[in-house]
Structures are given as structure tokens and as C-alpha cells.
Amino acid sequence: METWGMVIVVLLQAAYISGTAVESTIPTTLDGPFSPVTVALGDEEFRGNAVDLPDTDPRVVRRVKGFEPEQISVSLSAAADSVWISWVTGDFQMGPNVQPLDPSSVSSIVYYGRLRDQLTLVATGNSLVYSQIYPFKDMLNYTSGIIHHVPLAGLEPGTRYFYRCGDPLIPAMSATHEFRTMPKLGPKSYPKRIAIVGDLGLTYNTTSTVDHMKSNEPDLILLLGDITYANLYLTNGTGSDCYSCSFPKTPIHETYQPRWDHWARFMEPIVSEIPIMVVEGNHEIEEQVENKTFEAYQSRFAFPAKESRSSSAFYYSFNAGGIHFVMLGAYISYKKSGKQYKWLQRDLAAVDRTVTPWLIATWHPPWYSTYASHFREAECMMVEMEELLYSYGVDIVFCGHVHAYERSNRVYNYTLDPCAPVHIVVGDGGNREKMAVAAADEPGHCPDPLTTPDGMGGFCAFNFTSGPAAGKFCWESQPEYSAYRESSFGHGILEVKNETHALWTWHRNQDSYNSIGDQIYIVREPHKCSIQPALAAEMNPLFRDY
């Protein structure tokens, strides 16, 4: 017995050493900064063709009857003990004259529990209907089905729950679904895998991305804006990958709102069981009469705004174990004098890094991207907010918008800095507008600065005054802050291992799901970097009149 015990120990040690050897082949940010790399992926076929799923695809057609729930999704609240369940009952209407459904005619009820056959807990919520109105000749108006949002509170962290939603009196109830709450708050507790994707849309590349993402079994999904691309279509459903090119004379920028319903039906099998958190992109603006914007975005998702002391669905925060996520809005005011900036100050000041060591920020348009598409477009937001995020030691920034993949070295104010965040762009989930291929540093591809206004209409990107691009708007070669870039559809997986190490993996769609495009351990060094100390919320003067 003693001999067999020693053999087992030796085998376990060998396995451990072998595993460590494999892990050690993955670079870490401590090995950087890295020399810039551009991966050439060959022909257009590799990048994929952005072809829409048709309205007749069985994955997007309505499959329920009457007021049975559909488009079911789970999203997180600010803490691990609560989630939101959202769904739609009743069908949308399209036409010159639409009559909205009465939200009070159908109840918003969720039965839930820890055992599939014992859903003894009950929660109720609220419901609403939104409309997209265009009182112009030949344009069709839209009104949604009844959208329900129900909060579930008092949940146990890291626990599987089962639920059914709907109205039992009609009766119109969903099938039974399940979800798992986030791990408990603390520095030793993390979701196993977080999927991060941007600019998803509803194309055949979207289906590849979502299938691939699901195969990686994430515990949480972050979607970084440009969700459905409904605004690439006229109200009659005619679409284009360049709206302004194909429809230059429309009196208002139309959208085809059923695209939202199609997208939510397609996504339901995954987001009814895996929580999804979203932030708005430019394609969610969807202007209509009376200067209304973002109606679909604000109506269809539940946001932990109130729970995170935000007054807006455009910016909020939440915790997932030892990670504090900050979701920011690039298409509302981000100025230092504005509500969002002041909220961000308060939120960051309240973060206790001994409890949530990791601080991750996301928004839609990137500050650091070297592609010609949207080059330096978010410079005004960067001018206003970068110093604040840097002073509180944000570890990683995730963005979308640019339809390619890029990972930076640690960078602050265009300068390599070991205490700055790693910026990662994942704006290539499957969008209708195809890939970004040309880099701004390639001959003939540096854009005219006057063609790069930011989302709020400002111009902040001018010629550089110092550094290797001094006197120029673009670099003449891939800048040193850009560690890795490639044009491919796909998604990323973040695996936070402990207080200091997180494994980031970029998965391309076109590699049969078996190979990895980019992989690195992002390593925190809090002992080397000065971080603004957290202040207790009740003692922080920034909170006093909030």
C-alpha cells in the first residue's frame, strides 16, 4: 500500500509539472511590453461574409402562441444575491397605424427555486411597451409586445436556480429554465469563464460566434454594444451594409424594429440560462420623432442602474465575485461636469480592492485602436475620462465598435506604462458591416481628421505633439502600444484565476473552434502601482447629496 501511495504521488507530481509546463508557454503581461504583431489571415473567405439570417429562419420566427413568454433572458443585478428575468408576451405590430398592447393586461410573475420540481418562490415585476414612430410618407410604425422585467432577490451566490415566467391566470407560462448566480463577493471567488463579444448583429457569422461561445460554457456574457443593427434597414425590412450609401434621401434614419425580436428569439436558448450584460453602441441610438433615442435598448434590457446608484441605463456597475465591472456610455455626456463622470468618480471611490481586486471597464468605441475604421473617434471621451480610470488602477478595458480584434500593451496617454490598463477591442462578433481590414498606419489609409468626429459630435483628435507620431495624425508603422491585431470574426473568454492572474483567450470563428488566435495572462501588480484608496460610501463626501 505504501509503495502504491508513493507511485500515486509521483504520478500526480508529474501531471502537475506537465500542466505547469503547458501553462508556462502562455505569455504574461510581465513579459511585455511586446513588439507589435499583425496577423495576416489570408483571403476574404477566412474573414467570412456578413450575410443576414432571413426573417424566415426557424431560429428567429415566433414559436409561441398567444401570450406565452418568448425572448427570455437573465441579467445580473449589482450583487450576487439578485438577478433580473426578462421576457416578451404578445407579438409586435408594424403598420402606418399601430395600437400598443396594454402592459397591465398580462402579469409579470416568476416562479423559482433550487429544485426543478419545487418552484415555491414567487417574484413579481413590471412591464412596458415601446414604440418606434415615423410619421412620414411610406414609413411603417412599430410597437413592441409587452416587455416584462422581474427582479429575483435573496438568492444564494454561486447557486443553480430553476424558474418559469409568465402569467399563470391566462394561463401562459414558459418552460422551466435554469441559471447560476455569480460567486460570492470576495478576492478568492470568480466566475469560471466570462464571454466577451461586441457588434454581434444577426448574420451567419453571428451564429458561428454564438455557437462557439456557447461551446466554451461561459458563466456570464458581456455584449459591448451594436446589438442587432436594426438601423441598417428601412421600415419595410430592406437592408444594407451601408445605410447612408443605399438610402441617402430618407427624411429620418429609419430602423426595422422586428430585427430586435428576431435577435432576441435567436439568443433566447443561451441568454435564458446564462446572464448577459450589455452596454449601448451607436447602432442603438435609433432616432425617432420628438428626439427620442435608444427606446429599444432601454426597454428590452434590465439594468442594475438604481442598485449601482446610477440614474441612467447608459452607465452602471456590478460585481461578479472578485471583479467590479464598470459599464460606461460613449453616446451621452462623459464630460467632467456631467452626471456620468460624477457617478464614475463615486463608483470608483467606493470600490474596495481587497474585496474586488479586479477592476474592469467597458464601453463601445475604443480609445486605443490602430485600424483606419473609427480611428481616434473616441478621443474626446478619452480626454475626459482616461486620467480618472488610470488613477483608480483599472486593470482591463474592453470595447467593440471597430470590426477587428486588437490587444494593446499597457498604455496610458499613448505611452507605455506598466500600471496602465490593457485595452482589448472585440468589435467583430458577426456584424452586418463586414470586417475592418486596413490599418491607419498603412500607406494611404490614414483618415482625414475631419472625418472622425466622436459620438457626441466633438473633435478632439489632432496631430500628436510628441512621441514617434509627432506632427502627424497617424503613425507610420504599427504603434508600440499595439501588441497584437488581426481581422477575424470571433469572441473572447476571460478566466480570472486569482487576485493577480487572469487568462484572456481570443477565439476566431473560422478555425473549426479548435485553435486560438491570441492568448495571454494579464497580471496585476498592485504592490508596484499607486491606486487611489477606496473610501467607504457613507464617509465619502461624493455620496452625501446623491
Mean pLDDT of all residues in 251-264 = 97
Q: In what order do the strands lie in the sheet with 358-362?
A: 37-39, 482-486, 405-408, 422-426, 396-399, 358-362, 323-327, 316-320
Verdict on whether the full-model pTM lies above 0.75: yes
pLDDT of residue 541: 42
* Residue 341 to residue 346: CA distance in whole angstroms: 9
* 303: nearest Cα among 546, 108, 76, 72: 76
Q: Are 296 and 233 in contact (CB under 8 A)?
A: no
Coil, strand or helix at 198:
coil
The per-residue pLDDT for range 31-59, each reduced to its tens digit, is: 999 999 999 876 555 455 678 999 999 99
Domain positions in the chain = 37-536
466 or 14, which is more confident: 466
Q: Considering 148, 283, 374, 491, which one is annotated as catalytic?
A: 374
If one counts every other C-beta atom within 10 angstroms of the C-beta of residue 461, the result is: 20
Q: Are 254 and 228 in contact (CB under 8 A)?
A: no
Q: How confident is the model at residue 18 (pLDDT cuts 50, 70, 90)?
A: very low
Grid cell digits, residue 70:
418568448
Helices (H), 272-338: 295-300
Report the mean per-residue pLDDT for the chain: 91
Q: How many CA atoms lie within 13 A of 127 on its CB side?
A: 25
The per-residue pLDDT for range 201-219, each reduced to its tens digit, is: 999 999 999 999 999 999 9
Please confirm, yes or no, whether 374 is among the known catalytic residues.
yes
With a CB cutoff of 8 Å and minimum separation 6, the contacts of 126 are: 108, 148, 149, 150
pLDDT surpasses 70 at 17: no
pLDDT surpasses 50 at 20: no
With a CB cutoff of 8 Å and minimum separation 6, the contacts of 44 are: none
* Residue 77 to residue 84: CA distance in whole angstroms: 7
476's enclosing H/E stretch is none
* Residue 125 to residue 149: CA distance in whole angstroms: 6
117: left (phi over 0), alpha (psi -120 to 50) or beta: alpha
The per-residue pLDDT for range 134-180, each reduced to its tens digit, is: 999 999 999 999 999 999 999 999 999 999 999 999 999 999 999 99
* Fold for the domain defined by 37-536: Purple Acid Phosphatase; chain A, domain 2 (3.60.21)
Helices (H), 238-338: 243-246, 258-271, 295-300
